[in-house]
Amino acid sequence: MAKDKEMTVVKGLDVDRYMGRWYEIASFPSTFQPRNGVNTRATYALKPDGTISVLNETWSDGKRGYIEGSAYKADPASDEAKLKVKFYVPPFLPIFPVVGDYWVLYIDEDYHYALIGQPSRKYLWILCRQTHMDEEVYSKLLEKAKEEGYDVTKLHRTPQADPPPESDAGPKDTKGIWWFKSLFGK
C-alpha cells in the first residue's frame, strides 16, 4: 500500500530556481488556513545565510492575511528536497516557534508547477507559477499524489483571481490574524 512506503522526494532541487511566487491551485483543508481563503500564495526568497524567507498570503472576506516564516534544509548533507518551515505563534506576537515538514514530491523541469507534501500525508499542496493550471497537468499531479499514498479526494481547489490581487500592505491587512483565528476558532 502506498501509505506504507517512504515517499519519493525530489533530489537535487535547484533552490535558486525555486525562489519566487507560487500560487496554490489546490490543498488539503487545514486548521492553519481559512476555509474561505482565496488567492492563496507563497513567496520564497533566499537569504544570505542560506535559509529561505517565506511569505504566505491569502484573502478571506476581502482582507489580506499573511504570515512570515523561514525554511531550511532538514538535513544539510542530503540532496533530497526535504525542508523544514518555521513560523511563530501567535504570528502578531512571536513567542512560540512551530516547525513543520515541507517536502517537494515533484517539480517539473521548468519549475512551473510543484507537488508539496509531508511524511504524515495530512498536508498536500499543488502549486503553480501562474494563477491557473492546465487540467492535464493537474491530473498528472493528482496521479503522482495517489502514488505517494495521498487520498486526493480531500483536495480543495483554491479560487484564484486573474490578475491576482496586489499584496500592498494596508489597513485591511491582518498579519497572521486569519491563521490564529482559524487555528483557535476565534
Taking the C-alpha atoms of residue 24 and residue 150, their distance in angstroms, rounded to an integer, is 17
| Mean pLDDT for the stretch of residues 89-95 | 70
As a whole number, the mean pLDDT across the chain is 88
Q: At which residue does the C-alpha cell 484573502 appear?
A: 59
Query: pLDDT (tens digit, 9 = 90+) per residue, 139-157?
Result: 999 999 999 999 999 999 9
CB atoms within 10 A of CB 107: 19
Is 80 exceeded by the pLDDT of residue 71?
A: yes
**pLDDT at res. 168:** 56
Is 50 exceeded by the pLDDT of residue 113?
A: yes
Query: pLDDT (tens digit, 9 = 90+) per residue, 103-112?
Result: 999 999 999 9
Query: pLDDT (tens digit, 9 = 90+) per residue, 26-51?
Result: 999 987 788 889 999 999 999 999 99
In the chain the domains, ranked by start, together with CATH numbers, are: 2-184 (2.40.128.20)
Is 70 exceeded by the pLDDT of residue 178?
A: no
Beta bridge partners of 27: 125, 156
**pLDDT at res. 3:** 64
**pLDDT at res. 170:** 46
Is 80 exceeded by the pLDDT of residue 165?
A: yes
Taking the C-alpha atoms of residue 130 and residue 98, their distance in angstroms, rounded to an integer, is 29
**pLDDT at res. 18:** 98
| Mean pLDDT for the stretch of residues 162-179 | 62
Is 70 exceeded by the pLDDT of residue 166?
A: yes
